[in-house]
Amino acid sequence: MKKSGIILALALAVLLITSCNQGKENQNPRKPDLINKQNLTLNKDLMTPEALWAFGRISDIQVSPDQSKILFGISYYDIELNKGNRELYSINSDGSEFKQLTKTPYSEFNAIWRPDGKKIGYLSSESGSIQLWEMDPDGAGKKMLTNIDNGITGFKYSPDQSMILYTKELFIKNPYDELYEGLPKATGRLNNDLMYRHWDHWVDTYSHVFYANYNEKNITEGTDIMHDEPYESPLSPFGGIEQITWTPDSKGIAYTCKKKSGLEYSKSTNSDIYLYNISTGKTQNLTKGMMGFDIGPSFSADGTKLAWESMERDGYESDKNRLFVLDLNTGEKTYYTKDFDQNVNGFSWSSNGEAIYFISPWHGTKQIYRLDLADNSIDKISEGIHNYISLSYTDAGLIAARQSMSMPTEIFIVNLQNGSSNQITRVNKDLLDQITMGKIEKRWIKTTDNKNMLTWVIYPPHFDPDKKYPALLYCQGGPQSMVSQFWSYRWNFQMMAANGYIIVAPNRRGLPGFGQEWLEQISGDYGGQNMRDYLSAIDALAKEPFIDKERLGAVGASYGGFSVFWLAGNHDKRFKAFIAHDGMFNFEAQYLETEEMWFVDWDLGGAFWEFDNKTAMRSYSNSPHKFVHKWDTPILVIHGELDYRITYTQGMSAFNAAILRGIPAEFLYFPDENHWVLTPQNGILWQRTFFNWLDTWLKE
């Protein structure tokens, strides 16, 4: 087959930061000017990899104490320098007075308002290590307040402004130090227990929580509230300062911790919420006996109640995420979402403590809900084809971050009663105005067991129903994360559509937002009903006159990568091309190569040597490597060496198997990327390779 070259970028966003304009009409700190750098003939309004990497990425939204201003960060990436930088910005809650507060090469983060609103605290590595800095609300008067050995990783002011808490990495003592004496160049790592590496790093440190007296001149080393315990808070690799908080009276610190180590840590998800008393130095476990993940403590304003997110079962990382509230006066714990068959994420108390607002995935979107504590009623207050990804309560409305498949994150204010919204920021307006997005359609498709499955269909820009298009089946990762209205900087559906493909993205079995039964069906059934769901989706769409059923591909990462490997041996010649990124290929090897043993124990059902374990035996019998003899379709395999969750040898083995079987294959290997692709030039190479492969096998 003749190889058709990748559609190279017509548009390259200029990555020079310009002075920012005031008001809501033009909030771009730099104006993306799309230029024809490659001098190619191509419609100028199509998404390209370079344009995708030019979008500003809003994160960490913080409302001022008087609720009049919003503080947030925007990250931009420079393709030529192959790195990004994050600056701090503010805007009035009504969308006026957009202002850039920092302009340095140090990526300021963890920016929050001081309780009196007169200063903004933030973290920066400007001094050589990450330290706490402060500045005036207009960005003037920047000053470093801490000089703590090895730096800090997060912080919060106490409500009365007398103290701060901060997190810091402590080195784990090596029990084999004496063996290394006189060997300064030795690189060998000696281990005697599990969890010696995690996701993308070797575990040489753990994070502890400290508190120190606050003053505006100099903050000295604080007190370790975890003493000499060999445990971590917050939880790695994804937990942050949101897992730790002050009591409203500034007399205590609540923190999330899983007080386990080694093999015990790797097999358990049982974290708890602990309350440390500043005056006595004593610690109380507030969630003792609750066996799953308990994270994200948050106090009501009056300090009488504590809310947190909780999972029930130890070892199940995708269990129902429940909302619990503890009455600190009576000790009574109330499970407020017992009759709510959905997950709870990212909640915020009302100022009077009578309601909690939260985000929950449902039917392919993430919407805002309100819990009234008085009568335990839950109401959905937002609608629309979008995802809310964070929210903060103000008396005037919820300050929320929102995104969709057609729009990166922007800030909105949402009405507390009816969910109507007004957009506050327009950071990416100039770039979005130059790009035509494809239409997004929601379809409900019947599965093989006669269930209704929501499937997103994304059409190419300027779609012509009289033409026939190649189509891609998108296989979701997780495995238990909903195919929602997410905006991705790698698996971007609009990017795929801009390259002339129709995308079929089913919410197959094993995803949240469709009830707990739908979510849990996948555990112990890899290669089962969820694979039939994939095929139901692509078979239904392949009947459309505008889809060429002879030009179908399947793509996916993580669990989606496994799905592609499995489909490669079980697709009955439906597909003409596959792409698998960071996928599991050999389950037996995966069980012994991964580090979070709770995941494989739960989802695969146990170890491959447990021959009397029917669930485990069914799982291992569905390992993709057992179907390689039926592989007959070109496959591109992508993997990063720093992916310790699913090691790169899984991808290498799949590629080698394809070559040995005489199947056209390519292996894109990143020695410096983890489970994701995070640097600009690697990201663009990923996109170019992705579409070069698809165009080779699916374009006429």
Tell me the catalytic residues. Answer: 558, 643, 675
Handedness of CA 21, 24, 26, 28 (dihedral sign): positive
For 442, half-sphere exposure in the C-beta direction (CA atoms, 13 angstrom radius) is 13
**Could you tell me if residue 139 is left (phi over 0), alpha (psi between -120 and 50 degrees) or otherwise beta?**
left
Query: 456 near 441, Cβ under 8 Å?
Result: yes
Are 292 and 309 contacting, i.e. CB atoms less than 8 angstroms apart?
A: no
Residue of 466, 446, 456, 454 lying closest to 503 (CA atoms):
456
Sequence letter at residue 281:
G
β-pairing, 577-581 with 547-557? Answer: parallel
Q: Among 205, 110, 219, which Cα is nearest to 161's?
A: 219
Q: Strands 333-335 and 355-362, how do they pair?
A: unpaired
User: How many CB atoms are located within 10 Å of the residue 122 CB?
Assistant: 22
Q: What DSSP string runs through 367-405? A: EEEEEETTTTEEEE---SSSEEEEEEEETTEEEEEEEET
Read off the tokens for 585.
């290929």
Lookup: tokens for 405 = 């498949």
Distance CA 283, CA 254 (A): 9
DSSP-assigned beta bridge partners for residue 272:
257
Residues linked to residue 197 through DSSP beta bridges, in sequence order:
202
The whole-angstrom separation of Cα 388 and Cα 402 is 4
* C-beta separation of 473 from 552 below 8 A: yes
Strand ranges for 428-560 from DSSP E: 440-446, 452-458, 469-475, 502-506, 547-557
Give the number of other Cβ atoms within 10 Å of residue 539's Cβ: 16
CB crowding 319-340: b at 16 or more within 10 Å, else e: bbbbbbbbebeeeebeebbeeb
Sign of CA dihedral 27, 31, 32, 34: positive
Strand ranges (E), 79-152: 83-92, 99-100, 109-113, 120-124, 131-135, 143-144
Rounded-to-integer distance, Cα 637 and Cα 578, Å: 8
**In whole angstroms, what is the distance from residue 346 CA to residue 602 CA?**
25
The structure tokens 């191509």 sit at: 42
Backbone angles phi, psi at 411, to 5 degrees: -100, 135
Asked if 692 and 685 touch (Cβ cutoff 8 Å), the reply is no
Residues 391 and 385: their CA atoms lie apart, in Å, by: 17
**Alpha carbons 372 and 349: distance in angstroms, whole number:** 10
What is the four-CA torsion angle of 56, 60, 64, 67, rounded to 10 degrees?
80
Torsion, Cα of 464, 465, 468, 474 (10° steps): 90
The one-character DSSP state at 624 is G
Distance, in Å, from the CA atom of 214 to the CA atom of 319, rounded to the nearest integer, reads: 40
CA dist 193 and 186 (Å) reads: 21
